[in-house]
């Protein structure tokens, strides 16, 4: 959380934005609905900034700002490495989704999105569902991931889960020479929209799945559907496991958890899993853990909503998502050949595309 520390040390928002060259940050406030939101646009070289809206009860505004800056940068890299013509953006709504979310709040948020005139296109993220997006859509056309009943592509989470599963299999292939997950002990932390779909793939393949979630009802729900074991938050990182799949929020790969973590692979859906990219990306490498870069393997949802913008084709979206397997293998190879952390290999590839296409756009 070094960025929060920076902020509290007196850096201005513009100074924070300059660290990773964010283009624009919009603060949204509306007393009548209780809406407090931040929209961050990281980069629009490849196209309009697309990224979901997250609703979360952040402890303070600095935490929310830090999250949205990190998430929007991740979206630029995700689109770039996946070959999509999209920029990176993200929004956060501050507050407990189970308590303060309402039609009016979502529609007011939609008005703010609309005021950006297409520079930012929103979608679902943690704490937001397709119904909420219907409300946003009442105020703006710059929405993706709409319900199928409205002609949209529906919840992107199953596609995201498929991509994570592909990335995980690529990691298994690299680590063990065989991409089968049968008998592998996999811990899925966070069994929400993506987590539950991932669990289904893993159980089907014969993996030994452990789950954890802060909400008891989620655990009960998944236990009713699949043969899984529960692991408590206290025991999670001490558990002997083959694969750790973070599917809740980011920054779980940090000093404390890494000191206990015993696994061969990290591959999950959560964005920004490395608390500090430089420090923890290097640490996982030193520990001999193969880290599948988050923005690479969780790109299925983005592929799906991008397809919606172009005229939705589920089969094409799934085929493109399946290709995450090959891209992930390639990143692992570059990382091994150049002896660099996997996140560095992935970042380099994403930055290269943004730079090259940026030059093409400037040419006649």
Q: ∠ CA 293-178-349 to the nearest 5 degrees?
A: 25
**DSSP of 105-173, one letter per residue?**
HHHHHHHHHHTTTTSEEEEE-TT--HHHHHHHHTT-S-B-S--GGGTS---SHHHHHHHHHHHHHHHHH
192 binds ligand NAD (CB under 6 A): yes
Binding mask 264-303 for ligand NAD (x = CB under 6 A): -----xxx--------------------------x--x--
Which of 90, 137, 208, 285 is an active site residue?
Answer: 90
Shortest Cβ 272–ligand NAD spacing (Å): 8
Of the pair 96, 182, the CB lying nearest ligand NAD is at: 96
122 binds ligand NAD (CB under 6 A): no
Q: Are residues 285 and 260 in contact, defined by beta-carbon separation less than 8 angstroms?
A: no
222 binds ligand NAD (CB under 6 A): no
Q: Are residues 111 and 92 in contact, defined by beta-carbon separation less than 8 angstroms?
A: no
* Rounded Cα–Cα distance for residues 45 and 197 (Å): 33
Shortest Cβ 200–ligand NAD spacing (Å): 13
Six token digits for residue 7: 């902020």
53 binds ligand NAD (CB under 6 A): no
Shortest Cβ 362–ligand NAD spacing (Å): 31
Tell me which of 51, 195, 293, 341 binds ligand NAD, using CB under 6 A.
Answer: 195
74 binds ligand NAD (CB under 6 A): no
Other CB atoms within 10 Å distance of the CB of residue 123: 27
Q: ∠ CA 233-235-236 to the nearest 5 degrees?
A: 65
Chain positions 125 to 144 lying near ligand NAD, rule: CB under 6 A, are: 125-127
Closest among 105, 86, 116 to 37, alpha carbons compared: 105
Tell me which of 248, 258, 350, 354 binds ligand NAD, using CB under 6 A.
Answer: 248
Chain positions 323 to 342 lying near ligand NAD, rule: CB under 6 A, are: none
Of the pair 110, 156, the CB lying nearest ligand NAD is at: 156
Chain positions 12 to 41 lying near ligand NAD, rule: CB under 6 A, are: none
Helix (H/G/I), strand (E/B), else coil: 59: coil
Active site residue 119: no
DSSP state of 185: E
Question: What is the longest distance spanned by two Cα atoms in the chain?
Answer: 59
Shortest Cβ 324–ligand NAD spacing (Å): 12
Q: What Cα–Cα distance (Å) separates residue 230 from each residue in 28, 109, 114, 245?
A: 39, 37, 43, 14
Tell me which of 122, 144, 174, 189 binds ligand NAD, using CB under 6 A.
Answer: 189
Residues that bind ligand NAD (CB under 6 A): 125-127, 156-157, 160, 189-195, 212-215, 218, 233, 247-249, 269-271, 298, 301
Residues with a catalytic annotation lie at: 90
């Amino acid at each position: 959380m070094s960025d929060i520390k920076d902020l509290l040390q007196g850096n201005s928002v513009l100074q924070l934005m300059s660290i990773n060259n964010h283009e624009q940050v919009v603060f949204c406030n509306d007393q009548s609905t209780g809406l407090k939101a931040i929209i961050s646009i990281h980069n629009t070289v490849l196209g309009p900034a697309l990224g979901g809206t997250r609703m979360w009860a952040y402890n303070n505004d600095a935490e929310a700002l830090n999250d949205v800056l990190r998430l929007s940068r991740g979206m630029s890299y995700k689109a770039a490495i996946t070959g999509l013509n999209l920029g990176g953006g993200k929004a956060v709504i501050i507050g407990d989704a189970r308590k303060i979310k309402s039609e009016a709040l979502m529609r007011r948020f939609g008005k703010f999105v609309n005021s950006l005139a297409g520079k930012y296109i929103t979608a679902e993220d943690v704490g937001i569902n397709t119904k909420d997006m219907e409300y946003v859509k009442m105020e703006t056309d710059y929405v993706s991931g709409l319900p199928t009943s409205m002609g949209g592509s529906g919840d992107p989470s199953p596609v995201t889960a498929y991509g994570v599963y592909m990335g995980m299999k690529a990691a298994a292939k690299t680590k063990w020479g065989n991409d089968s997950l049968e008998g592998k002990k996999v811990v899925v932390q966070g069994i929400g929209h993506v987590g539950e779909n991932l669990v289904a793939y893993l159980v089907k393949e014969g993996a030994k799945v452990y789950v954890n979630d802060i909400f008891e009802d989620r655990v009960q729900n998944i236990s009713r559907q699949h043969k899984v074991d529960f692991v408590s938050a206290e025991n999670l990182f001490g558990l002997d496991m083959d694969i750790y799949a973070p599917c809740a929020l980011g920054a779980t790969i940090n000093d404390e958890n890494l000191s206990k973590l015993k696994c061969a692979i990290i591959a999950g859906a959560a964005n920004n899993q490395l608390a500090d990219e430089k420090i923890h990306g290097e640490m996982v490498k030193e520990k001999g853990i193969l880290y599948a870069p988050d923005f690479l393997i969780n790109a299925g949802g983005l592929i799906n909503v991008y397809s919606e913008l172009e005229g939705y084709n589920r089969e094409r979206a799934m085929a493109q998502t399946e290709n995450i397997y090959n891209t992930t293998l390639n990143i692992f190879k570059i990382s091994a050949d150049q002896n660099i952390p996997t996140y560095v290999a992935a970042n380099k590839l994403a930055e290269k595309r943004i730079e090259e296409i940026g030059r093409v756009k400037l040419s006649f």
